[in-house]
Amino acid sequence: MDTTYDKDNAQHPAMMKPRIRSATLSDLTSLVEIDRMCFTEDLAFDEEEFRRHLSDSNAVSLVADISGTAAGFSIATLEHSGREATLVTLDVLPPYRRSGVGSALVEAARHWLLGRGAGRLFLQVDTSNEAALAFYLGLGFRKVRILSGYYGRGKDAYLMRKNL
């Protein structure tokens, strides 16, 4: 499949554009490492979860490649109805943030999901994750409701939704 999507990120100090490509099992180690750098241990996925998503034909797993380095990745899955999808995770390594990488990953996932007939994209985000909230609101996601204890006792999430 063609998942190439170039975002003009002239603001980035290194002036480099991410190349968005499909993730494969050969990216497994990178995905685990990036996830550990982006999330605390209790929230990071384990290798088996990544392996399952990478092998799922109803999931789109994308890597943002900058000069041969994985700067971030996203995973989204189609739900059984086929009309709805979930953004399972989105990670951008700290040095590459605020340069359009996250937006490029979401846009490429949106493109893939639209092509398979999905109409709405859902996600869960920690209510205290201000950066991600600002990011998702800016992309047109709206809060649907609070999911109490979603990440464990006292750790709530917002369920967010965007029409694709």
Nearest residue by C-beta to ligand COA? 102
Q: Pick the binder of ligand COA from 5, 73, 135, 158 (CB under 6 A).
A: 135
Q: Contacts from 156-159 at CB under 8 Å and sequence distance 24+?
A: 156/126, 156/127, 157/124, 157/125, 157/126, 157/127, 158/124, 158/125, 158/127, 158/133, 159/122, 159/123, 159/124
Q: Pick the binder of ligand COA from 125, 141, 151, 158 (CB under 6 A).
A: 125
Non-local CB neighbours of 110 within 8 Å, separated by 6+ positions: 121, 164
Q: Pick the binder of ligand COA from 31, 90, 113, 121 (CB under 6 A).
A: 90
By CB under 6 A, residue 118 contacts ligand COA: no
Q: Pick the binder of ligand COA from 14, 25, 114, 134 (CB under 6 A).
A: 134
Nearer Cβ to ligand COA, position 117 or 134?
A: 134
Nearer Cβ to ligand COA, position 22 or 127?
A: 127
Q: For residues 88 and 37, give the distance between their C-alpha atoms in angstroms, rounded to a whole number.
A: 17
By CB under 6 A, residue 132 contacts ligand COA: yes
Q: For residues 1 and 4, give the distance between their C-alpha atoms in angstroms, rounded to a whole number.
A: 9
Q: Give the residue from 63, 41, 42, 59 showing the smallest Cα distance to 51.
A: 59
Nearer Cβ to ligand COA, position 13 or 57?
A: 13
By CB under 6 A, residue 91 contacts ligand COA: yes
**Interface contacts to ligand COA, rule CB under 6 A:** 38, 90-92, 97-103, 123, 125, 129, 131-132, 134-135, 138
